């Protein structure tokens, strides 16, 4: 985005790429209405011309941070078209690679992107290291990361003080340490902030694991049509993954250390924040959740079963049907809503202008008969709990540790805890998948070959960290002639539909308390938890003063 004045002197925000714009009206310290809109490139047909062999790479051209997920979804769409069943070795490798990416994403969002929404670096610097060590000792269960000493927290406080003097001070809002929406003693803030450096180390080990497997970078050898890259083309990007015994053992060793941090530090840190903010267990709920089944392992049911669930976590559809996923491109809004959704704003506000005509206004994705659905970590955890089994029992046990009832999942705190819970489930499962991969015979097939038809249709479903991704492809004469997708952010940031039903974010923002409209921390908590995939701006319309404030939300 760039800013300039138009010919009439009005300030313009010139958008060269995708942009989300969220508006919230605040009155008497509470959000009374919300509108979510924006423009993005989500029609793959703008880039048609690929052959089937090019499709996994082609699918990444319009995407942003989720390239690997797009490659997986389009590979599955072509496998669906050809009736290909991926062999067990490829299913395991795909699950491992996908899980490692999830774990890195969850750690980054919790300890970097979301941490300042709940804890403040300035408050952390006011903490007493000895008292922080006592808090750490009493906050963790037996066996959970309780060895941190006063000396450790003193060293971390010094490191964080250096950090606060740089750009990170503004990023973590050190100047807002007095914001009334922050809770907890300074020691709680220091305790969690002190673990951010360890989380960065774990992410580095996850990246090393992907590199050992030769599944890092943009080639995505785990997501080739039919299974894994096998080197048959002779092209540099077709190098097969390294599944040698030595490599798998080294990967298992790295993962053991990552799992310890996730189980004994990451999840307890999320639980600590949950106990500091009990009110937020009743805020920012939605009406329904959608998740595709994901992580199938070698055989059998998926680790995360997916489905459509209602606000109370009850299963509406045990297996979400992609055929019922649809989009309403131009809802029939009342005039006042239409003005906001198309950003026809008062002249005292900047005007938004997009130079790229291919950027489309947000549609309203819906599940026929179920309406607007939230997607993402919380949707997957809600569906896993509803399905029962070991994953459901783990979710209930974790909520119990936080002192929260099951209904608290559908909340702002539920979104925070979902990342920690899903990370634990995946870290444990990935250990099992590595063991299963090592037990497979050396000559196990890694790719199923079947000629793709010259024409046909296929659907590819993938759960990426942000949520449910759907690709639909039609081919004729060996070329893609129709390619559509529904990405997670379109589900979560969708506007009202023609019936007036709000999108998930709009619904979640309703009734959110806002202590200071000029510092809308509470609104940012919810916007960030939905994880916009591109630049995002938040407009706060303060009805009490008649002023409108615009802040960067990402």
Question: Each residue of 50-97: pLDDT tens digit?
Answer: 455 555 544 444 444 578 898 899 899 999 999 999 999 999 999 999
- Angle value at C-alpha 413, between 409 and 418, nearest 5 degrees: 65
Please give the C-alpha separations between residue 162 and each of 30, 166, 195, 247, in angstroms, as whole numbers: 36, 7, 16, 38
Residue 154 has pLDDT above 60, yes or no: yes
Rounded CA gap, 44 and 428, in Å?
36
159 part of a folded domain: no
User: Hunting for tokens 């997916």 — which residue is that?
Assistant: 306
Cβ-contact 30, 544 below 8 angstroms: no
Position with higher pLDDT, 286 vs 43: 286
Answer yes or no: is 183 within a domain: no
Write down the pLDDT at residue 146: 53
Supply the pLDDT for residue 143: 57
- Per residue in 462-496, pLDDT tens? 999 999 999 999 988 888 888 888 999 999 999 99
Q: Give the Cα separation of 263 and 34 in Å (integer).
A: 37
Q: Which two tokens stand for residue 548?
A: 């409108």
pLDDT band at 45 (very low <50, low <70, confident <90, very high): low
End-to-end CA distance of the chain: 12
Using DSSP, state whether 229 is helix, strand or coil: coil
For the chain, give the mean pLDDT: 91
Residue 46: per-residue pLDDT: 52
Dist. CA 398–CA 92, nearest whole Å: 27
Q: Are strands 535-542 and 360-361 parallel, antiparallel or unpaired?
A: unpaired
Q: What is the pLDDT of residue 12?
A: 87
207 contacts 200 by C-beta, under 8 angstroms = no
Q: Residue 214's closest CA among 231, 198, 194? A: 231
Q: Which pLDDT score is estimated for 9? A: 67
What confidence score (pLDDT) does residue 235 get?
60
Cα 437–439–440 angle (5° rounding)?
Answer: 70
Q: Which tokens sit at 230? A: 């096998």
Asked if the model's pLDDT at residue 32 lies above 60, the reply is: yes
Judge contact between 98 and 477, C-beta under 8 A: no
Separation of alpha carbons 494 and 503, rounded Å: 5
Q: What percent of the chain has pLDDT over 90?
A: 73
Domain that holds residue 40: 1-65+285-410+469-554
> pLDDT band at 194, cuts 50/70/90?
very high
Task: Count structural domains, the chain.
Answer: 1
Residue 58: its pLDDT value, please? Answer: 46
SS3 361: strand
The mean pLDDT value for 10-20 works out to 86
Q: Is residue 332 part of a domain?
A: yes
Q: What is the 3-state secondary structure (H, E, C) of 187-221?
A: HHHHHHHCCHHHHHHHHHHHHHHHHHCCCCCCCCH
pLDDT of residue 62: 41
Angle, CA 90 vertex, CA 89 and CA 93 arms, to 5°: 90
332 CB-side CA count, 13 A: 2
Digit-coded pLDDT (tens) for 269-327: 999 999 999 999 999 999 999 999 999 988 878 999 999 999 999 999 988 899 999 99
- Separation of alpha carbons 201 and 212, rounded Å: 16
| CA proximity to 187, closest of 209, 154, 216 | 154
72: left (phi over 0), alpha (psi -120 to 50) or beta: alpha
- pLDDT computed for residue 401 by the predictor: 95
- The confidence score (pLDDT) of residue 138 equals 81
Question: Could you read off the pLDDT of 200-253 as tens digits, one per residue?
Answer: 999 999 999 999 999 987 778 999 999 999 877 666 567 899 999 999 999 999
**Which residue's structure tokens are 């659905």?**
373
Q: Does some domain include residue 447? A: no
Residues 159-187 pLDDT 10s: 999 999 988 888 888 989 999 999 999 99
So what's the pLDDT on residue 318?
A: 87
Q: Quote the CA–CA distance of 448 and 273 in Å, as a whole number.
A: 46
């Amino acid at each position: 985005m760039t800013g300039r004045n138009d010919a009439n002197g009005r300030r313009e925000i010139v958008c060269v790429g995708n942009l989300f714009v969220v508006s919230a009206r605040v009155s008497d310290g509470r959000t009374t209405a919300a509108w979510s809109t924006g423009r993005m490139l989500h029609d793959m047909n703008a880039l048609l011309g690929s052959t089937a062999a090019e499709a996994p790479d082609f699918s990444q051209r319009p995407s942003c941070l989720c390239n690997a997920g797009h490659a997986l979804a389009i590979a599955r769409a072509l496998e669906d078209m050809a009736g290909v069943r991926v062999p067990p070795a490829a299913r395991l490798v795909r699950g491992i690679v996908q899980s490692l990416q999830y774990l890195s994403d969850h750690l980054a969002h919790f300890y970097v992107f979301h941490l300042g929404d709940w804890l403040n670096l300035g408050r952390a610097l006011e903490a007493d290291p000895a008292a922080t060590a006592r808090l750490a000792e009493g906050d963790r269960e037996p066996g959970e990361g309780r060895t941190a000493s006063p000396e450790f927290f003193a060293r971390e406080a010094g490191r964080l003080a250096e950090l606060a003097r740089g750009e990170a001070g503004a990023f973590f809002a050190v100047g807002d340490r007095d914001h009334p929406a922050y809770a907890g003693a300074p020691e709680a803030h220091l305790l969690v902030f002190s673990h951010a450096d360890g989380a960065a180390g774990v992410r580095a080990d996850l990246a090393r694991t992907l590199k050992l497997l030769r599944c890092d970078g943009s080639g995505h050898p785990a997501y080739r049509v039919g299974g894994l890259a096998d080197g048959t083309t002779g092209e540099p990007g077709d190098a097969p993954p390294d599944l040698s015994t030595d490599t798998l053992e080294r990967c298992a060793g790295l993962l053991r250390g990552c799992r310890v941090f996730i189980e004994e530090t990451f999840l307890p840190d999320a639980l600590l924040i949950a106990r500091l903010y009990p009110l937020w267990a009743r805020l920012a709920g939605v009406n329904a959740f959608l998740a595709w089944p994901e992580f199938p392992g070698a055989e059998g049911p998926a680790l995360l079963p997916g489905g459509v669930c209602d606000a109370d976590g009850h299963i509406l559809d045990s297996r979400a049907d992609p055929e019922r996923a649809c989009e309403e491109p131009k809802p029939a809004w009342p005039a006042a809503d239409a003005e906001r959704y198309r950003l026809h704003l008062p002249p005292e506000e900047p005007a938004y202008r997009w130079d790229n005509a291919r950027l489309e206004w947000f549609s309203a994705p819906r599940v026929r008969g179920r309406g607007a659905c939230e997607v993402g970590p919380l949707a997957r955890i809600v569906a896993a709990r509803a399905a029962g089994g070991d994953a459901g029992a783990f979710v209930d046990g974790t909520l119990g540790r936080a002192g929260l009832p099951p209904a608290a999942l559908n909340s702002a705190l539920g979104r925070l805890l979902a990342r920690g819970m899903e990370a634990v489930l995946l870290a444990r499962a990935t250990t099992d998948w590595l063991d299963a991969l090592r037990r497979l015979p050396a000559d196990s097939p890694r790719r199923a070959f079947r000629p793709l038809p010259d024409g046909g249709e296929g659907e590819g479903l993938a759960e990426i960290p942000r949520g449910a991704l759907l690709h639909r492809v039609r081919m004729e004469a060996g070329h893609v002639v129709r390619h559509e997708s529904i990405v997670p952010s379109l589900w979560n940031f969708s506007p009202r539909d023609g019936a007036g039903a709000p999108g998930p974010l709009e619904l979640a923002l309703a009734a959110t308390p806002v202590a200071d409209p000029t510092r809308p921390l509470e609104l940012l908590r919810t916007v960030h938890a939905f994880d916009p995939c591109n630049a995002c701006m938040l407009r706060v319309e303060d009805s009490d003063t008649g002023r409108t404030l615009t802040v960067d939300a990402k």
